[in-house]
Amino acid sequence: MNITYIIGLAIMLSIILALLGIVLIVIDVMRSHKEDEDKDYEKKGKSSVGGVVLIGPIPIVFGNDPSIIKWAIVLTIIVVILFIVLALLPGIL
């Protein structure tokens, strides 16, 4: 395999993932807007938020629900492992 092929594939996959993320955000916004109209502005109840900020190798995890924090940690581990694999992939091939 040629290195330019692998780099091109990585660039194409990153663009596809970025576009998929944008599409998912738009779908979520449209869905939540529709739910607002359907509920006639009633009180919805509890909502959960959370996230991860990576500053170098140090993750900062935040959230207001323990299950959201657990999912954020699991997804962060998966993304970091994927990043390491993809960073070492050109050296392996």
Quote the pLDDT of residue 70.
Answer: 92
Q: Which residues of 24-55 are buried (b: 16+ CB within 10 A; e: fewer)?
A: eeeeeeeeeeeeeeeeeeeeeeeeeebeeeee
CA distance 65 to 67: 6
What are the pLDDT tens digits along the chain (93 aa)?
688 888 888 889 899 999 998 998 888 888 877 665 555 555 556 778 888 898 887 889 998 888 889 989 999 999 888 888 888 877 665
CA distance 55 to 74: 17
Quote the pLDDT of residue 36.
Answer: 59
Quote the pLDDT of residue 59.
Answer: 86
Quote the pLDDT of residue 20.
Answer: 92
Strands (E), the chain: 50-55, 58-63
Quote the pLDDT of residue 92.
Answer: 65
Closest CA to 46 of 31, 72, 64, 22: 64
Quote the pLDDT of residue 37.
Answer: 58
